[in-house]
Structure 1
Amino acid sequence: MSSHLDLVPPLVEKGHFGDLLSSNETISVSSSSYDSSLAIFMTPNHITMNPKNTTTTYDEPIYFASYDIAPSSERRLFITDTAIIFNFLQDMLKSSKGKEASWLQSSDATGLIRQRAIEYVNFIKECWIHTSQPMPRPDGPLQFTSNHYRILYSCFSLFVLLYIPEPEYEKAPVGEELMEWLNIHFIEPSTEEGDHLSSLDSPWEDDSFWPYLTRATLRGLTKASIFFFHTLLKHPSREMQDLIPVVIPLLESQPRLQNFKAERDFAYASRRWLDKVKALRVEMDRVPEELRFDDHDNWWDSLSDIVGILEGRGEVIQRVSEELGADWKEVCCAWGVFVDTRFRREDLPEIVSEVVEQMPPDPTSMEDMIHSALFSDQPEQALRHAAQFDPWLAAHLADLMESLGMLDTSVNSESELSKRDEYVLSYTDYLHSDPTLWRIIVPYMYSCGEIGRERGDALLLRVPLYLHVKKTSDSSSLAAEAIANTVKEVSALCLEHQREHVRREACKVAAQLLARQKDYGLAVTYYISAEDWPGLGRVIDRVLEEYIQNGPASFASYAAKFIHSLQELPSRINTEGIFAHRLTFAVRYAQIHRLRAEGESPAAIFEIITLLREEIAPKSWWAVLLCDAVDLLQGGSNSLFSSNDLVLLLRRLEEIHIRTSQGCGDDYLNVLLRTIHGKSEKDALDRLKPVRFALAKYFARCTVSGSHNGVTLSQ
Structure 2
Amino acid sequence: MSGIPMIQPSRMAVTSASSTKRSIFSEPSVNLRSRDKDLANMEPALDDNLKQDYISTMYLHPSPFAKGTTAESWTRNNRTIRSAFRPSTNEIAIFVAGKKAAEEFPVKQQATDLDNTIFLCQPSIPKSRIPFITEMFDVFSNTTNKNPYTAAFAYRENYDLYLKGIKKYQIELEERSLNEMETDDAQSTSKEQQIIKDIYAIWQLTEYMFLTSDDEKPLALMLSKWLAIHEFDALVDKAEDLTKQRRKINDPEFWPFVNRCILRGMRNNVMYIIDEALREEESDDVADALAELLRLLRGIPSLETMIRDSSLKARHSKWQQECKKFAKSPELKHLDSQAATTIAILTGDLNAIFAQTDSWKDALAAILLYTDPDRPRQEIGSTLDLCISKYLSGKEITLVDRIKIAIFQMDAIKAVRYCSSFDDPWLVAHMADVLHQHGFLDPVGLTLQDLTSSGLDTNIRDFFIINYAQSIISDPDLWEVIAGYLLRCGHTGRTMLSTWICHVPLDSPEKAIKVLEFCKNNNLLDSLQSINRVIGVEQEKLGRYDLAIQHFIASKDNDRVAKVVDNLMRKFLKDGTLEMDESLGSLSSQKVHNEHVEFLRLYGKFQRYRKSDKVVLAGRQLVDLLSLEKAPKKYWALLLFDAMPLLESKNLVFGSTDTYELMRCLEEVVGSPHKSEYLQSLPPNIAAESVSTEDRVLQLNVIRLSLVKNLARALVHEPFTGDLL
Q: TM class, shorter-chain normalised?
A: 0.7 to 0.9
CA distance in 2, matches of 1:342, 1:43: 62
Give the C-alpha shift of residue 89 in structure 1.
Answer: 2.8
Indicate the larger mover: 248-257 or 29-38: 29-38
Aligned to 2:318: 275
Residue type of the partner of 1:128? Answer: Q
User: Which 10-residue stretch deviates more, 144-153 or 235-244?
Assistant: 235-244
| C-alpha contact 2:63 2:69 (8 A) present in aligned 1 | no
Q: Distance in 2 between matches of 1:709 and 1:284?
A: 125
Aligned mates of 1:451, 1:4 — CA distance in 2: 32
Would the alpha carbon gap of residues 495 and 329 (structure 1) be closer, same or farther in structure 2, given more than 3 Å must change?
farther
Quick check: 1:556–1:593 contact (8 Å CA) kept in 2?
no
- Checking the alignment, whether the CA contact within 8 Å between 1:408 and 1:418 is kept in structure 2 is no
Structural mapping, 1:606-645, within 5 Å = 606-632=620-646, 638=651, 641=653, 643=655
| Alignment counterpart, residue 576 of structure 2, candidates 552, 558, 570 | 552
- Identify if the C-alpha distance between structure 1 residues 663 and 427 changes in structure 2 by more than 3 Å, giving closer, same or farther: closer
By how many angstroms is 1:702 displaced? 7.3
Name the residue aligned to 1:408.
442
- Displacement, 1:121? 0.9
From the superposition, tell whether residues 689 and 397 of structure 1 become closer, same or farther in structure 2 (CA, over 3 Å): same
User: Structure 1, unaligned stretches of length 5 or more?
Assistant: 49-55, 93-103, 294-298, 467-481, 570-579, 711-715
Counterparts of residues 111-510 of structure 1 (less than 5 Å):
111-134=153-176, 141=185, 143-145=188-190, 146-165=193-212, 167=213, 169-170=214-215, 172-187=217-232, 190-230=235-275, 231-232=277-278, 235=281, 238-258=284-304, 260=305, 263-265=307-309, 267-268=310-311, 271-272=314-315, 274-287=317-330, 292=333, 299=335, 301-321=337-357, 326-360=358-392, 363=396, 365-386=398-419, 387-409=421-443, 410-412=446-448, 415-416=455-456, 417-466=458-507, 482=508, 484-510=509-535
Give the match's secondary structure for 2:125: coil
Letter in 2 for 1:313: D
Cα drift, residue 654 of structure 1: 4.8
- Alignment check: 8 A CA contact 1:233 1:240 kept: no
The one-letter code of the counterpart of 1:552 is G
* Deviation (angstroms), 1:190: 2.5
Any idea what the Cα deviations from partners look like across 1:283-322, whole Å, max 9, x if unmatched? 442318xx826xxxxx35322222223333344323222x
Q: Which stretch has the larger CA shift, 442-451 or 204-213?
A: 442-451
User: Secondary structure at the residue paired with 2:119?
Assistant: strand
What letter corresponds to residue 367 of structure 1 in structure 2? Answer: V
Q: 1:80 aligns with which of 115, 130, 134?
A: 134
Gap regions ≥5 residues in structure 2: 6-57, 104-110
> Using a 3 Å threshold, how does the CA distance of structure 1 residues 661 and 196 change in structure 2: closer, same or farther?
closer
Which whole-Å deviations, capped at 9, do the CAs of 1:62-120 have from their partners, x for residues lacking one?
Answer: 46353x6401222222222212222223343xxxxxxxxxxx5x733455544443211
Deviations 1:368-405 (A, max 9, x none): 33222212223233233333232111111112122222
> How many residues are matched?
640
The residue that corresponds to 2:25 in the other structure is none
Determine if contact 1:659/1:665 at 8 Å carries over to the other structure: yes
User: How far apart are the structure 1 equivalents of 2:288 and 2:474?
Assistant: 68
Does the 8 A contact of 2:360 with 2:388 survive in 1? yes
Find the partner of 2:565 among 540, 559, 567. Answer: 540
Taking the aligned partners of 2:194 and 2:170, their CA distance within structure 1 comes to 8
Deviations 1:511-550 (A, max 9, x none): 34444555432222122212233333333333333334x2
AA aligned to 1:511 is G
User: Is the counterpart of residue 563 in structure 1 residue 587 in structure 2?
Assistant: yes
TM-score scaled by length of structure 1: 0.78
1:363 and 1:385, CA in 2 relative to 1: closer, same or farther beyond 3 A? farther
* Cα distance, 1:383–1:34 mapped onto 2, change above 3 Å: closer
Per the TM alignment, residue 651 of structure 1 is displaced from its structure 2 partner at its CA by 3.3
* Mapped partners of 2:426, 2:256: distance in 1: 39
**Hey, what's the Cα distance between the residues in 1 that align with 2:410 and 2:150?**
24
Give me the whole-angstrom Cα distance separating, in 2, the residues matched to 1:364 and 1:598: 90
How many angstroms apart in 2 are the aligned matches of 1:300 and 1:136? 44
Instruction: Give the partner amino acid of 1:185.
Output: H
Q: Which amino acid aligns with 1:129?
A: I
Q: Quick check: 1:699–1:708 contact (8 Å CA) kept in 2? A: no
| Cα RMSD, aligned residues only | 3.8
Report the CA distance between 1:440 and its aligned residue.
2.2
User: Which SS does the other structure have where 1:464 is aligned?
Assistant: coil
Match of 1:101 in 2: none
| Secondary structure of the structure 2 residue equivalent to 1:64 | strand
How much has 1:179 moved relative to structure 2?
1.1
How far is 1:681 from its partner?
Answer: 4.2
- Distance in 2, matches of 1:70 and 1:685, equals 65
Name which of structure 1's ranges 518-527 and 356-365 shifts more when overlaid on structure 2.
356-365
Sequence identity (%): 21
Closer/same/farther in 2, CA of residues 16 and 184 from structure 1, 3 Å limit: closer
Could you tell me how far 1:198 is from its partner in structure 2? 2.4
Look up the match of 1:574.
Answer: none
TM-score, length basis structure 2: 0.77
Q: Do 1:673 and 1:684's aligned partners in 2 also have CA atoms closer than 8 Å? A: no
Native 8 Å contact 1:188 1:215 kept in 2: no
Check 1:347–1:33 CA distance in 2 against 1; reply closer, same or farther (3 A cut): closer
Alpha-carbon spacing, 1:206–1:86, altered in 2? closer, same or farther (3 Å):
same
Distance in 1 (CA, whole Å) between partners of 2:280 and 2:184 is: 55
Give the drift of 1:648: 1.1
- For 1:349 and 1:384, how far apart are their aligned partners in 2? 20
User: Aligned partner of 2:163: which letter?
Assistant: V
Deviates most, 681-690 or 351-360:
681-690
1:46 is displaced (CA, Å) by 9.4
CA separation of 1:457 and 1:24: change in aligned 2, threshold 3 A:
same
Q: Which residue of 2 aligns with 1:524?
A: 549
Asked if the contact 1:656/1:668 (under 8 Å) is kept, the reply is no
Q: CA deviation at 1:665?
A: 3.6
Q: Give the Cα–Cα distance (whole angstroms) in 2 for the partners of residues 649 and 343 of structure 1.
A: 102
Distance in 2 (CA, whole Å) between partners of 1:396 and 1:305 is 43
Q: CA 1:421/1:665 → structure 2, altered by over 3 Å: closer, same or farther?
A: closer
Q: Quick check: 1:650–1:692 contact (8 Å CA) kept in 2?
A: no
- Aligned position for 2:18: none
Aligned equivalents of 2:513, 2:139: Cα separation in 1: 23
Whether the aligned pair in 2 keeps the contact of 1:626 and 1:649 (CA below 8 Å) is: no
Alignment-mate amino acid for residue 318 of structure 1 = F
3-state SS of paired residue (2:681)? helix
CA distance in structure 1 between the aligned counterparts of 2:657 and 2:184, rounded to whole angstroms: 78
| 1:350 partner letter | S
**Amino acid in the other structure paired with 1:157:** Q
In structure 2, do the counterparts of structure 1 residues 211 and 364 end up closer, same or farther at CA, with 3 Å as the change threshold?
same
Corresponding residue number in structure 2 for 1:576: none
